Amino acid sequence: EPEVTQTPSHQVTQMGQEVILRCVPISNHLYFYWYRQILGQKVEFLVSFYNNEISEKSEIFDDQFSVERPDGSNFTLKIRSTKLEDSAMYFCASSIRQAGEQYFGPGTRLTVT
């Protein structure tokens, strides 16, 4: 069964450093998302991406964040200058349609020290 994959599974970085989180969505999906989950809290939407551009972003997704689909398979989330409060699980998701079910990857645990 096709699945969303994410790398790395765990990333430790120092405050102020740049990180890139990588995702490979399901191959025939067209809509891509990043969500995050701070430990013990609910999953929060960050950004959605379609047709090589951002279709919606939350207030969390400020100028420190960017997304890219550099080729036909990868979807990346970059945090330019990490802060302690960026520590969270970051989930990539994809869907074949705008409306309906989204498939989530296993997540990347980002720890900012």
Partner 1 sequence: GESVGLHLPTLSVQEGDNSIINCAYSNSASDYFIWYKQESGKGPQFIIDIRSNMDKRQGQRVTVLLNKTVKHLSLQIAATQPGDSAVYFCAAQRNSWGKLQFGAGTQVVVTP
| Site for partner 1, rule CB under 8 A | 4, 31, 33, 35, 41-45, 48, 50, 55-56, 58, 91, 98-107
Name the residue nearer to partner 1 (CB basis): 14 or 53. 53
Q: Are 36 and 88 in contact (CB under 8 A)?
A: yes
Distance CA 66, CA 10 (A): 19
Contacts of 61 (CB under 8 A, 6+ apart): 46, 47
Q: How far is the CB of 95 from partner 1 (least distance, A)?
A: 8
CB of 80 to partner 1, least distance (A): 23
Q: How far is the CB of 3 from partner 1 (least distance, A)?
A: 9
* Residue (14 or 40) nearer to partner 1, CB: 40
- CB-side neighbour CA atoms (13 Å) of 90: 33
